[in-house]
Structure 1
Amino acid sequence: MSRFPGYHPDIPISRTPPAVSPPQPLIDAQHAAFIQGGVSMSIGACGPGRHPTLARGTGCRISADLRRVTVFVSMQQAAPVLDCVRDNGLIAAAFSQPSTHRTIQLKGRDARLVPLDEGDAALIIRYRQAFAADLATIGFRAEQVETLLGFPASEVVAIRFTLAEAYVQTPGPQAGERLQSRS
């Protein structure tokens, strides 16, 4: 009997590790469309002592492989969040549709500031219009959205992170459960 369980002298030992396929994305195309739509975006981070800080997002871009998230924030309004991201890379982003309260929360551990891509300014404008349209269904005026998100484009910065966790946060019995990809 061999001292090595599973060893058999007639079976060759493979020196090449088996191919490992990347894990499935935590979100699917439908989630990505929701997150990039006219939803309220709250971007959270924590500083020393795990003290939380929060900023309002003004748009989002999901990578084609559904693994990276880029959120846009006002440099001035989000200064404490940006400091925390620079310090430890931890981020949480909640995406909630005001008219339905449907909410998804995404978390990352490697957040960092990145330059805006070509086309991001147009994406941010489309986001504001879609957010204003959703809010209009519950009685808010476009001017109110402009007051909330009306900072100059030159003040917008991007935060990118790899999606590490995803949760349902819609009020109800499933709140807090891990998000299930439908793909």
Structure 2
Amino acid sequence: MTAAAVTLPADFLAMMDRGVSVIVSSAGLDLRPSVMRAVGSRIEAGGGQITVYVSRQQSGQLLQDIASTGRIAVVFCEPSTHRTVQVKARQAQIRCAEPSDEPALARYLESMIHEISLVGHSSRFTRAMLNQQLDDVVAISFVPADAFDQTPGPQAGARLHHSAGANP
């Protein structure tokens, strides 16, 4: 994969890397949207590579849409504040999750147990929502091509800055 087309601000990267609510979406060739909650995420290379994890069993249409178009949009949201960033890509790659992904999935689950507890839900609730068997998990990796501040308020929808030479 190539270098990131966007440079994500450090405060958003820190939030994303910590492990917050992640919603993954795409659309088919007919532009009909597909959406699914991620069960994990991993931020690498200072945001230059992002991997999100979804349940294969629950994400059939989403995975089909990404496979046919390569397009993905992912929202990272801090539940207690609604602070949100959306990243998009045009060349997402899908693979089966591997044992080497287990630490990222475990770290994400523990972070989300904390995040969801801040809005009043138990660890039991969060585990039921996010805990998956590794053989059902699919990893979707991409280089962000575009990013937007989606935090409710006056900056909602503002495009985040692109790196030099990048094409939005």
Q: Same fold by TM-score, threshold 0.5 exceeded?
A: yes
Determine the structure 1 residue equivalent to 2:165: none
Determine the structure 1 residue equivalent to 2:105: 124
Q: Distance in 2 between matches of 1:103 and 1:85?
A: 22
1:48 paired to 2:19: no
Q: Distance in 2 between matches of 1:103 and 1:23?
A: 19
Contact in 2 for aligned 1:29/1:66 (Cα 8 Å): no
Identity of aligned residues (%): 34
Determine the structure 2 residue equivalent to 1:69: 50
Unpaired segments of 5 or more residues in structure 1?
1-21
Amino acid of the structure 1 residue aligned with 2:53 = F
Determine the structure 2 residue equivalent to 1:93: 74
Residue number among 156, 163, 167 corresponding to 2:148 in the alignment: 167
Alignment of 1:131-146 (within 5 A): 131-146=112-127
Structure with the bigger RCO (C-alpha within 8 Å, sep 6+) is 2
Q: Distance in 2 between matches of 1:65 and 1:148?
A: 28
Deviation string 1:99-149 (CA, Å, 9 cap, x unpaired) is: 110000000000111354654211111111111111111210011111211
Shift of 1:165: 0.4
Q: Distance in 1 between matches of 2:48 and 2:103?
A: 22
Higher helix share: 2
Question: How many residues were matched structurally?
Answer: 160
Unpaired segments of 5 or more residues in structure 2?
163-168
Q: Distance in 1 between matches of 2:124 and 2:153?
A: 32
Q: Distance in 1 between matches of 2:82 and 2:4?
A: 29
Task: Kindly name which structure, 1 or 2, has the bigger radius of gyration based on alpha carbons.
Answer: 1
Contact in 2 for aligned 1:167/1:179 (Cα 8 Å): yes
> TM-score when scaled to structure 1?
0.80
